[in-house]
Amino acid sequence: MSTEKTKPDIARVVNEFVNTIDGLAMTLAVSTKALSIDHDDAHKKIREFIDSHGIAGEKDGKKTFRISSHEFCHDFGIMKDDLDRLHAGMAAVPRGFFVAMVSQYDAFLGSLVSALIQLKPELLNASGCTLTYADLVRFGSLEAARDFVVENELETLLRKSHAEQFKHLENKFAIELRKGLPEWTTFVELTERRNLLVHADGVVSNQYITNCRDNGVKLDETIRPGVKLELPADYFRKAYWALFQIGVKLSQALWRKIAPQQAEEADSNLAEISYNLLRDRRYRRATALLDFADTVLAKRHANEKYRLMFLVNRALVYYLRADKAKCAEILDTQDWTAASLVYQLAESVLRERFDESAGIVKKIGANSSPHKADYLHWPLFAEFRKSPQFAEAFKLTFGDESHEEEVPGPEPPPIEPTVQ
């Protein structure tokens, strides 16, 4: 069996993180829906039981009831216990998923930094870890010693608070990470809330308030020591998306800094993630990443192909959000006459010059990109596909009219909880 180390693959690390927190959010959506159904059913059973076996009354101006006979108390007690368990579960399940989501971020960060060190081992030169000759003898090889130093480096990083981790990374990699990061304060607060949930049952402490305020978090005036924080669905959605963005943006910034020769791999990974958001019709989510790709990373793409790809997809997401003015504004930043046919096609489609678009489709032909399946499935062509110009161009290019038989696919599964 080979002992060769696995080649560092940052794209794999990022994709595993994205898929895992997406999976956690999706599973929570399913779980909360099922719990809500069971909760409503339990309430219904109790109401029906009270209607049949309860005697209404009043005490201190409040409505009361009592069971009409002792023979029914046992069954009522079981139903009430079931309802109490459901209430407890409805509070505990989101908490468990939230803590798991932050834990996945921690695991991701460790894997990301480990992969970066593999790409640039000289980063260990600044490590505070020192080894004696006896240590080297004990390890038996320089590779084993190096692994020990890497583990020590990761432990040092992960023992810090999440805010301190960013400062550590900025110093280690000589890069600004927090500047212009709109998710920063949300990230700090959610990681501090995670600590409260794990160590203090969600009860606010002075340390939580201090750490939040020191990092620019504006807390609601109702949040003070002793208050117990909850996890409503809208908060979970906000936290999930902050972690998603932090993971993707952090990896992109560090990847390009440490291994500029892999800029094309970084572009490909970001393009895949943002396209999947477009495909799943999560347009507001896609907007954030495509704004980042087309503005923050504007001069750091591997080549012109990727620069134009992100520009087009950014214009597309605003088009799909019915913001055609913003779409046009983005398109106006580029001279499309010098671009390849595929980008000229994209520009004409987004400006809804469908006669021109059809002509370009015919020029591109059947043996170049976009291919037949691309015309049928890319979100870029969603409106164009509905036009008679598309039907004619598609038939002339591919020799059939199969696009007319296409039916919309099923709604994508929920990614985030929709009930509290």
DSSP 348-411: HHHTT-HHHHHHHHHHH-SSSSS-HHHHHH-GGGTTGGGSHHHHHHHHHHHSS-GGGG--PPPP
pLDDT score of 180: 82
Residue 142 has pLDDT above 90, yes or no: no
**Per-residue pLDDT tens over the stretch 230-239:** 899 899 999 9
Query: Residue 342: CB partners within 8 Å, gap ≥ 6?
Result: 364, 369, 370
Give the closest residue to 13 by CA, choosing from 278, 290, 310, 266.
266
Residue 405 has pLDDT above 50, yes or no: no
pLDDT score of 411: 47
The whole model's pTM is what?
0.84
Whether 270 and 252 have beta carbons less than 8 Å apart is answered as yes
Comparing 96 with 61, which gets the higher pLDDT? 96
C-alpha–C-alpha distance, residues 146 and 325, integer Å: 55
Cα–Cα–Cα angle for 396, 398, 403, nearest 5°? 95
* pLDDT above 90 coverage of the chain, percent: 62
pLDDT score of 206: 96
Comparing 404 with 53, which gets the higher pLDDT? 53
Whether 217 and 209 have beta carbons less than 8 Å apart is answered as no
Lowest average pLDDT, out of 1-15, 131-145, 152-166, 179-193, goes to 131-145
Residue 123 has pLDDT above 80, yes or no: no
pLDDT score of 410: 44
